[in-house]
Amino acid sequence: MTPNIAIVRIERPYGRGFRLWLPLFLLWIPAILLSPVILLVLFGLCVAGNVSLWRAIAASWAILCGLPGTDVHVRTEGNQILVRIL
């Protein structure tokens, strides 16, 4: 399953934090339009790195499908940022 929504929450010690919902499924529209360019770049990288094109596509798809459930927490000097991919 590909990621559909990302939730970004920013908390500050002074003042209010906020939560931002980002619809990732809307990124598929430009990705589909740019797919010929993406495939040409990927093909060029595979030729330069001597890697199978199908193996590179499979690895990219596996990484993309593995993103849901990812949580990233960053804390510094009282500030906190949480990124959750659903």
Neighbouring C-beta atoms of residue 51, cutoff 10 Å: 13
Residue 16 is predicted with a pLDDT of 87
* Closest to 69 in 3D by CA, of 86, 44, 54: 86
CB distance 86 to 4 below 8 Å: yes
Average pLDDT, integer, range 70-81 = 92
CA 25-28-37 angle, to 5 degrees, is 160
Q: How does strand 79-85 pair with strand 71-76?
A: antiparallel
Alpha carbon 5 to its chain's center? 10
Its pTM stands at 0.73
pLDDT tens digits along 1-37: 788 999 999 998 888 889 999 999 899 899 999 999 9
